[in-house]
Amino acid sequence: MRSGFSLFLLATIQPLISALPLNSSEPASWDIEGFAKDNPLGTTTGGEGGPTVTVETAAELKTAVAGDSPAVVYIKGEIALPSRLKVGSNKSVIGVGSSAHITGSGIDIYSRTNVIIRNVKISFIKGNDGITIRNSTRVWVDHNEFESDITQGPDAFDGQVDIIRASDWITLSWNYFHDHWKSSLVGNDPSFRDLDFGHLHVTYHHNHWKNEGTRGPAGRFGHLHVYNNLYEDYLYQALHSRSDNQMLVEGNVFRGKTREALSTYGLVIPDDSPNTCVCGDEEIDGFANLGAENDWGSATVNITQVGTFDKAPYEYILTPLASVASVVEQGAGVVLSTCI
Ligand SMILES: *[C@@H]1O[C@H](CO)[C@@H](O)[C@H](O)[C@H]1NC(C)=O
Ligand SMILES: *[C@@H]1O[C@H](CO)[C@@H](O)[C@H](O)[C@H]1NC(C)=O
Ligand SMILES: *[C@@H]1O[C@H](CO)[C@@H](O)[C@H](O)[C@H]1NC(C)=O
Ligand SMILES: *[C@@H]1O[C@H](CO)[C@@H](O)[C@H](O)[C@H]1NC(C)=O
């Protein structure tokens, strides 16, 4: 738990307004927003309507999330996963209180639809991503915490949440990503153009990134709407739109030792992946559009081409820029949900 919230019942989503010391009627919402809500396939509902089960061991968790029939799965306490957790369609995975914690192995959402992951800490996942969303649609990743160790270099850990292989209609909201190098990659290979193009619609809002390296997020071929996020000490490059990716960037705040806030220059910088050349890997550029004003702090911005994604195709609540840092600091991450 990161701040003084104790009033929220995550199962029945409450608006944020009663808890924040803000003088605004609607500074932000904790309801589902963005592509996971408004899309051609229908709103992401997870396990709504299905049975509820509370799990405390890896074996119980594995069983509870298997199959595609709806279920709401509450995680209690820490679970060290011995292998990747394969989550089926129509599932909500929700942490109880503020101590639900997954370590060891991470979560795979592979070729599935309609999945919600909330209120869980996912840390120090070795050899793979915290969450991999692959060939899957309608996923909402909300109010989680992701942590590892940035001091071990770019390749000690994989992504925190990676979204690949034509996945679509996804929202990442109110997550706390910290102490990690490569955070969130959308589209994992420049050669997957035909597969990915026209998919990979992802909304990132009210996430808190702190002491991170690159990919906050980095996108290829997708449409990423990035609004009202707080970036603190995003050391090398926060937002990267490359390989014809479209990014709409608005109302974000960049603080501290953040070197580059946003780039559409295709070069994959050596701080990210010194793969084929110490000077970095060449890719073609992406696009970016700026919506509501951002606070770049002292970070640089390199927009080489402006795109066509200049307006999100849905309604959303934009937090006033002056309130973004406090709203996100207080609201992002795991929260105590007392009533579960
Ligand atoms: C809140 O807004 C009201 C009406 O706009 C104003 O009178 C009041 O002084 C504000 N309070 C604070 C703490 O800013
Ligand atoms: C569950 O998911 C499958 C897709 O894997 C879908 O076809 C089905 O309609 C879903 N069931 C319910 C009750 O939503
Ligand atoms: C992608 O997911 C669909 C189910 O939505 C499945 O039918 C298809 O085989 C999957 N494709 C790959 C390449 O995994
Ligand atoms: C910005 O993009 C241009 C390409 O248009 C590139 O030459 C330049 O090196 C980039 N600047 C930085 C700081 O990466």
Weakest-pLDDT range from 25-39, 192-206, 254-268, 278-292: 25-39
pLDDT reported for residue 26 = 52
> CA dihedral defined by 174, 180, 182, 184, rounded to 10 degrees?
-20
Domain annotation covers residue 294: yes
- For residue 230, what pLDDT band results from cuts at 50, 70 and 90? very high
Name residue, tokens 């806030």: 261
Answer whether 54 contacts ligand 4 (Cβ < 6 A): no
pLDDT reported for residue 28 = 82
- Among all bound ligands, the one having the nearest atom to the CA of 242 is 4
- Flag whether pLDDT at 159 surpasses 50: yes
pLDDT reported for residue 21 = 38
pLDDT reported for residue 27 = 76
Question: Which of helix, strand or coil describes residue 77?
Answer: coil
| Beta carbons within 8 Å of 25's beta carbon, 6+ residues apart | 17
What's the whole-model pTM score? 0.90
pLDDT reported for residue 16 = 37
Report, as an integer, the average pLDDT of 285-304. Answer: 98
Domain annotation covers residue 339: no
Question: What's the gap in Å between 171 CA and the centre of ligand 3?
Answer: 20
Report, as an integer, the average pLDDT of 174-181. Answer: 97
Weakest-pLDDT range from 18-32, 259-273, 319-333: 18-32
Domain annotation covers residue 2: no
Report, as an integer, the average pLDDT of 83-104. Answer: 96
Domain annotation covers residue 337: no
Domain annotation covers residue 197: yes
Report, as an integer, the average pLDDT of 275-302. Answer: 91
pLDDT reported for residue 279 = 74
- For residue 24, what pLDDT band results from cuts at 50, 70 and 90? very low
pLDDT reported for residue 58 = 98
Report, as an integer, the average pLDDT of 168-184. Answer: 98
Atom of ligand 4 at shortest range from CA of 265: 2
Weakest-pLDDT range from 68-72, 278-282, 292-296: 278-282
Reported as a single tens digit per residue, the pLDDT across 31-59 is: 999 999 999 999 999 999 999 999 999 99
Whose Cα sits closest to atom 1 in ligand 3? Answer: 111
pLDDT reported for residue 276 = 67
User: In this prediction, what percent of the chain has a pLDDT beyond 90?
Assistant: 85
Weakest-pLDDT range from 16-25, 239-248, 252-261: 16-25
Instruction: Kindly write down the DSSP assignment for every residue of 29-62, as one continuous string.
Output: --S--STTTSSTT----TTTTS-EEEE-SHHHHH
Question: What's the gap in Å between 214 CA and the centre of ligand 3?
Answer: 29
| Beta carbons within 8 Å of 91's beta carbon, 6+ residues apart | 46, 47, 65, 70, 71, 72, 73, 114, 115, 116
| Beta carbons within 8 Å of 196's beta carbon, 6+ residues apart | 164, 165, 166, 187, 220, 221, 222
pLDDT reported for residue 336 = 63
Q: Name the domain count of the chain.
A: 1
Find the CATH number of the domain harbouring 195. Answer: 2.160.20.10
pLDDT reported for residue 11 = 34
Atom of ligand 2 at shortest range from CA of 50: 13
pLDDT reported for residue 7 = 33
Ligand 2 site-directed mutation target among 113, 136, 137, 138, most atoms within 8 Å of CB:
113
Answer whether 44 contacts ligand 2 (Cβ < 6 A): no
Structure tokens of 340?
């579960």
Please indicate whether residue 215 is annotated as part of the active site: yes
Ligand 4 site-directed mutation target among 302, 303, 305, most atoms within 8 Å of CB:
302
Answer whether 111 contacts ligand 3 (Cβ < 6 A): yes
Question: What's the gap in Å between 112 CA and the centre of ligand 3?
Answer: 8
Report, as an integer, the average pLDDT of 14-22. Answer: 38
Backbone phi, then psi, for 86, in 5-degree steps?
Answer: -95, 110
Sign of CA dihedral 149, 218, 301, 232: negative
- For residue 74, what pLDDT band results from cuts at 50, 70 and 90? very high
Answer whether 305 contacts ligand 4 (Cβ < 6 A): no
Answer whether 135 contacts ligand 3 (Cβ < 6 A): yes
Report, as an integer, the average pLDDT of 110-129. Answer: 97
Answer whether 174 contacts ligand 4 (Cβ < 6 A): no
Q: Which residues sit opposite 300 in a β-bridge? A: 260
Question: What's the gap in Å between 281 CA and the centre of ligand 2?
Answer: 41
Question: What's the gap in Å between 46 CA and the centre of ligand 2?
Answer: 10
pLDDT reported for residue 277 = 72
3-state helix, strand, coil in the chain (%, to 5): 10, 35, 55
Residue of 118, 215, 220, 242 marked catalytic? 215
Domain annotation covers residue 144: yes
Report, as an integer, the average pLDDT of 330-338. Answer: 79
Sign of CA dihedral 153, 83, 90, 144: negative
pLDDT reported for residue 337 = 60
Domain annotation covers residue 18: yes
Domain annotation covers residue 25: yes
- Flag whether pLDDT at 4 surpasses 50: no
- Flag whether pLDDT at 304 surpasses 80: yes
Strands 208-214 and 218-220: unpaired
- Flag whether pLDDT at 15 surpasses 50: no
Backbone phi, then psi, for 135, in 5-degree steps?
Answer: 50, 40
Answer whether 236 contacts ligand 4 (Cβ < 6 A): no
**Domain boundaries, position 279:** 7-331
Atom of ligand 2 at shortest range from CA of 88: 5
- Flag whether pLDDT at 17 surpasses 70: no
pLDDT reported for residue 13 = 37
- Among all bound ligands, the one having the nearest atom to the CA of 42 is 2
